[in-house]
Amino acid sequence: MSRAEILSNIRRGLGRGEASEAQRKAVFNRLNAKANNLIPKRSQLPHAEQVELFKSMAQEASAEIIELSSTADVPKTVTDWLQNNGIKELISSSDAELNELDWSPLGDIQRTQRVAMVGDMASITTSFAGIAETGTLMLHSRGESPTTLNFLPDVHLVVLKRSTIVGPYEDAWKKIRGTFGKSMPRTVNMITGPSRSADIEQTLQMGAHGPRTLVILLIND
Amino acid sequence: MQIRSPEFKENARTALKEEGLQRALGKLRAGFPEKRAIAVERMPEFHDLRDEARDLKNHILENLDIYLEQFESKVQESGGHVHWARTGDDANKIILDICKQVNAKTVTKGKSMVSEETNLNEYLEANGIQPVETDLGEYILQLREDHPSHIIAPAIHLNLSDVSEIFHEKHGKPKSDDPAVLMQEAREELRNKFVAADVGITGANFLVAETGSTIIVTNEGNGDLTQTLPKTHIVITSIEKVVPTLEDMTLFLRLLARSATGQEFTVYNTLSTGPRREGDADGPENFHVVLVDNGRSEMVGSEFHEMLRCIRCSACMNHCPVYGSVGGHAYGWVYPGPMGSVLTPKMIGIEKAGNLPNASTFCGKCEEVCPVRIPLPKLMRHWRNNEFEKHLSPKAVRWGLAGWGFFAKRPTLYRQLSTASNWFMRTLGGKKGRVKSLPMASGWTDFRDLPTPTDKTFMQQWNDKKEGKQ
């Protein structure tokens, strides 16, 4: 009932009945074109400079960046980081990219593959893309990588391959469409730095409900 | 939320004397506008993006019915449900029904101004379901049985001591004057509530017709936990939020954070498309979108059409001298500041909200900073006309206007009168050239002096010039 009333109100306001075939066609052409709007020049750079821009923007948003020459270095680096912070368990996504690594450096630290739960201290996931324009990570849900890993633990470690860094958001959307076709993953998360809030007296505090710390393991592949 | 807009004048008078509120507002005036200015400076294309955003919104509104139908069919394709709600009450009923279907006892809520419009929390509580606000500001307000005074910084009217006080009372922990300690307390309190909730309700900043996705923008991550952990995710949103494609959404996202908090980008920009997929280990099993109208469809094609471009960034109120002096609660309903002065009369009636479009100096700052270039002063003026035509303006205003109109239509008389009043004002002002008190204008002169007019009126100067005297 409401639906018909709302739609007919809108049409009356626009001074027409149902849209004509020509008008609908124009709208669908626009939807299908997926054309870019104005893209700021900031990120329209050679790839090496996009990577530098990504790094500086992510750091400005308080993300920590550790550069590695290969994914093989991830287990040792993660172990050091967790030990320095006294963390004894790592909740991990089960992406092949992570599973195929040699995790023996972890020693006593437990690496568990499951959804995140209250009390988890650290998680590790991969990422789909990095967006240089604002130092933003793009992740998406899938069986191997539960979304709770991105939000519930205190520390979120993210593996980002240098080759997946793009300039503007628009290039990341093209990548999403290229990978998934017409159906989007259930969720796409764009993450720029760790969680924060300024709701108490407009004083910015890090670590509101999401991770207090965001560590980007940037692989120079 | 109880409507207190008719008492705007009393509300404002009280607000001006509230020390705590004035301290809080002082920080707002220094904070948001400065951060926005820096962000705008760093994005040379900012004003071109505003033009594009305005034009795109106009295109969307011209085709709103088509885009909404397209959005609906895409949500359904991805396994979600779309519900249409003509009024706030309709929306509340739809949400309660969904909650009952899944035997919900508690729901967590991400920040949603549309749910403030519909009084959703009170409605759920009255029907035996406990809503828990999870945005830090909204959580503080819920504990205090208070309401937002700003659309993106809901607890901006409170100071640290107010938060410490209510946390001490409700959490039973020692008071603290460290915001970090207080935030940690809220984080711990809410952790288990996120997990225990049967339903998560969030708003949406935009709805993408191309994909059937809803997007929320938060810095805290509360919206993400709200929508990921419970079995059912309900999005309560309004019909003007639809955009065509992901690229179009991106245009607005570039403007939103910069206009709002002055951030380059908000920490979490999260797209949701349907319920969890086969093989997913988490995420909601049910996904519902409630499209609320509540007066918006009647704005289409009306003199308030342009207001439907609003993306709820709050730049207009952050830069408004009136909002900055009296705060959001004085406006007496959900939406404060210039955007509220245009929207509120539409939603609760000009009879109750007539004071709001009059509570403006028409300095034009709101229009100057609006990311989608809404001519807010013009729209407030429409309401003033509307109020006048309905004979709702106060007698003093009507008689004043009628008196002025009488003289304005008789130029000779008008000139004689203005020459006389010029002389009178100059005499009152004396050598200092400032009038310290003026009969019937104490509202002005109690707080500031009135500069005296020039020796000659404009018409006298004009005639002198024509005759070559100067």
Instruction: Render pLDDT for B367-379 as a digit per residue (tens, 0 to 9).
Output: 999 999 999 999 9
Residue B470 has pLDDT above 70, yes or no: no
- Domain extent listing, chain A: 1-33, 39-219
pLDDT for B421 equals 86
pLDDT for B469 equals 65
Q: Is the dihedral of CA B258, B260, B263, B268 positive or negative?
A: negative
Q: Give the pLDDT band of residue B450 (cuts 50, 70, 90).
A: confident
Enumerate residues 6+ apart whose C-beta is below 8 A from A179: A128
Residue whose structure tokens are 């509101």: A208
- For domain A39-219, the CATH superfamily is NagB/RpiA/CoA transferase-like (3.40.50.10420)
Judge whether B165 and B176 are in contact, CB under 8 Å: no
Kind of pairing between the strands at B286-292 and B81-85:
parallel
The first and second tokens of residue B375, run together, are 């001519």
DSSP state, residue B430: G
The alpha carbon of B294 is separated from its chain's Cα centroid by a whole number of angstroms, namely 16
Question: Among A144, A8, A198, which Cα is nearest to B267's?
Answer: A198
User: What percent helix, strand, coil does chain B show, rounded to 5?
Assistant: 55, 10, 30
Question: Inter-chain contact B282–A205, Cβ cutoff 8 Å?
Answer: no
Range in A92-101, A180-189, B156-165, B418-427 the model is least confident about: B418-427
Question: Inter-chain contact A190–B160, Cβ cutoff 8 Å?
Answer: no
Give the mean pLDDT of chain B: 94
**pLDDT tens figures, B90-116:** 999 999 999 999 999 999 999 999 999
Question: Inter-chain contact B219–A13, Cβ cutoff 8 Å?
Answer: no
The first and second tokens of residue B101, run together, are 């279907």
Collapse the DSSP code of A215 into the 3-class scheme (helix H, G, I; strand E, B; otherwise coil) and give the result.
strand
Q: Which of A14, A183, A185 sits opposite B62 (nearest CB)?
A: A14
For B287, the closest chain A residue by CA position comes to: A186
Judge whether B456 and B464 are in contact, CB under 8 Å: yes
Distance CA B375, CA A213 (A): 42
Q: Give the pLDDT band of residue B446 (cuts 50, 70, 90).
A: confident
pLDDT for B292 equals 98
**pLDDT tens figures, A60-104:** 999 999 999 999 999 999 999 999 999 999 999 999 999 999 999
For A119, the closest chain B residue by CA position comes to: B191
DSSP state, residue A137: E
pLDDT for B375 equals 98
**pLDDT tens figures, B118-141:** 999 999 999 999 999 999 999 999
Q: With a CB-CB cutoff of 8 Å, which residues 178-207 of chain A face chain B? A: 183-203, 205, 207
Q: Give the pLDDT band of residue B458 (cuts 50, 70, 90).
A: confident
Q: Which of A19, A134, A210 sits opposite B66 (nearest CB)?
A: A19
Question: pTM for the complete prediction?
Answer: 0.94
Question: Inter-chain contact B302–A169, Cβ cutoff 8 Å?
Answer: no
Residue B249 has pLDDT above 60, yes or no: yes
Kind of pairing between the strands at B199-202 and B106-109:
parallel
**pLDDT tens figures, A22-50:** 999 999 999 999 999 999 999 999 999 99
Residues from chain A that touch B267, judged by Cβ atoms under 8 A, are 61, 191-196, 210
pLDDT for B459 equals 84
| Predicted complex ipTM exceeds 0.95 | yes
**Mean pLDDT, range B382-405, rounded to an integer:** 90
Judge whether B28 and B137 are in contact, CB under 8 Å: no
- Domain extent listing, chain B: 43-297, 396-466
pLDDT for B448 equals 83
CATH 3.40.47.10 assigned to domain B43-297? The reply is no
**pLDDT tens figures, A168-204:** 999 999 999 999 998 899 999 999 999 999 999 888 9
**What percentage of chain A reaches a pLDDT higher than 70?**
100
For A18, the closest chain B residue by CA position comes to: B65
Question: Inter-chain contact A38–B45, Cβ cutoff 8 Å?
Answer: yes
